[in-house]
Structure 1
Amino acid sequence: MYLEFEIFLIICNYLGTIAFAASGALKGIKYKLDIFGMTLLATMTACGGGIIRDILLNEVPTALINPEGLYISIITTVILYIFMKNLENQ
């Protein structure tokens, strides 16, 4: 039973990271940023809150220990960038 709840929390964490990364990437598209700017904005949106929380709690940021959130935000940004470029070309 405990393992199922732990998996549920991990899935919720991944979905939240994807949602915030997509939010940052779409804001980058709105302001016509390049892929680097979009990735930076998406990563800071997706992982920045957790980093600030951990710093205020005087702990090592989780994003530095477990970089899965960074990878998810980068992958999300690349997918959105490719998707938006394909929409522009049609």
Structure 2
Amino acid sequence: MGEISIKINIADRVYPLRITAEEEEVIRYAAKLVNEKIKELQENYAVRDKQDLLSMCVLQYATGMIKAERALQQQDTGLEQSIHELDTLLTDFFSK
């Protein structure tokens, strides 16, 4: 599919984007989550500057992403080890 033009509002600023139609739902949902996080931070902390709120929001999402990547990497390592052990067991079994 071709590209479409949309406008996304983040922290009371409008950003025009050209995206594929398949990306639209994800991008709109991501913008919604960012705006909700900014609102939450604004309510819980005495911060009013949008730049500070955006920075705190980005830091939280980046931290979460890094944690998720590390957990996935550890899970992949564990799976790789389990496959190697299973391969060893099967090789031993069939070589007898």
Q: Same fold (TM over 0.5)?
A: no
- TM (normalized to structure 1)? 0.42
Greater share of strand residues, 1 or 2? 2
Q: Which has the higher contact order (CA 8 A, sep 6+)?
A: 1
